[in-house]
Amino acid sequence: MDAVDTLLTALADPARWRLVSLLAGRPRPVGVLAQLAQARQPQTTKHLQALERAGVVTSRRTGQRRIYALRPAPLRDLAALLNGLADTADQAGGPRETYNRYGLSLDVERLAAEEPGWADGRSFSFLRSSTAGPEQVWRHLTEPPLLARWWAPDDLRVSELVFEARPGGQIILEYRDAEDTDGSDQVAWRTEGIVDDVRPGERLAYRSSPLLPDGDLAFTAHVDLGLRPTSTGTDLDVHVRITDSTVESADFIAGIEIGFGQSLDKLVATLATGAHDTDTRSTR
């Protein structure tokens, strides 16, 4: 057990925390601390000894009395550590902000999901620009090894992927937590679908349906991806339209804008890395 664990364990006891609070005012002898804490002196002595072992108090014998005093430094170190953790969790644009955004969306969608079909006709649009050419973008949209590099929101990983880039082709996509390396946690998301239209370098359209815990379909997302060459690379227009929405689909639909957007951002970053690698190889 390291020093922080020892300190936290010592402070976790309410009786010890009361003694720390009393010692913050001034050094005090054991007998007085027992009186103020309304506790028996032998038990108070044991608590003070535990605090001393944790390094948060110090003691000195004066005549027949033992005086205890608070050591501020360990508390300041602990406060700095806690403030650092809070600052990390509160970083702008970080995972905590995404969690809060999803929570707000979740509340709204759950209130709206009163009956089947509640979200039918809803649509989401995304536009991303890449310096990669249409052929390279197309490969990342249709080849499973390349899809697996980006087709997951932040903090998730692709744990199973089937994508048959032909009309009528099968789609299976499963997500797990990015840190769930052994598959012991529950599946975060599993979706099954069918490819509708394939125009290499131009358009890809498919339908996909997330599965509810009982195996039923939550809703159907009609996804249309259009590739448009530009003078600097490729623009990718993505449109998602919802049909067959169930009441239980609210949790999934609440995450579409955030999750799909994050995945597309990862696609652009992946393409940029690939383009850089290609340029590097070509100059050798």
Nearest to 19 by CA among 2, 54, 43, 44: 44
Is the same domain home to 196 and 245? yes
Range of the domain at 235: 95-282
CATH number for the domain harbouring residue 151? 3.30.530.20
Give the residue from 73, 89, 105 where a domain finishes. 89
Nearest to 50 by CA among 26, 19, 21: 19
Is the same domain home to 183 and 53? no
Helix axes 14-25, 41-53, angle to 10 degrees: 80
Convert 217-235 into a string of H (helix), E (strand) and C (coil).
Answer: ECCEEEEEEEEEEECCEEE
Give the residue from 89, 104, 123 where a domain finishes. 89
- Average model confidence (pLDDT) across the chain: 93
Is the same domain home to 38 and 110? no
Mean pLDDT score, 216-229: 97
Integer angstrom CA distances of residue 38 from 18, 70, 72: 10, 19, 24
Is the same domain home to 49 and 108? no
Judge whether 217 and 251 are in contact, CB under 8 Å.
Answer: no
Report the domain count for the chain. Answer: 2
Q: What is the pLDDT of residue 253?
A: 96
Judge whether 271 and 129 are in contact, CB under 8 Å.
Answer: no
Is the same domain home to 122 and 147? yes
pTM of the model as a whole: 0.78
Q: What is the pLDDT of residue 274?
A: 77
Is the same domain home to 28 and 78? yes
In terms of Cβ atoms closer than 10 Å to its own Cβ (0-12, 13-18, 19+), residue 284 is: exposed
Is the same domain home to 106 and 201? yes
Mean pLDDT score, 228-241: 97
CATH number for the domain harbouring residue 39? 1.10.10.10
Is the same domain home to 124 and 204? yes
Is the same domain home to 85 and 206? no
Q: What is the pLDDT of residue 203?
A: 98
Q: What is the pLDDT of residue 1?
A: 54
Is the same domain home to 118 and 71? no
6-37: pLDDT as tens digits: 999 999 999 999 999 999 999 999 999 999 99
Is the same domain home to 204 and 112? yes
67-106: pLDDT as tens digits: 999 999 999 999 999 999 988 888 777 788 888 999 999 9
Is the same domain home to 223 and 274? yes
Give the residue from 60, 89, 118 where a domain finishes. 89
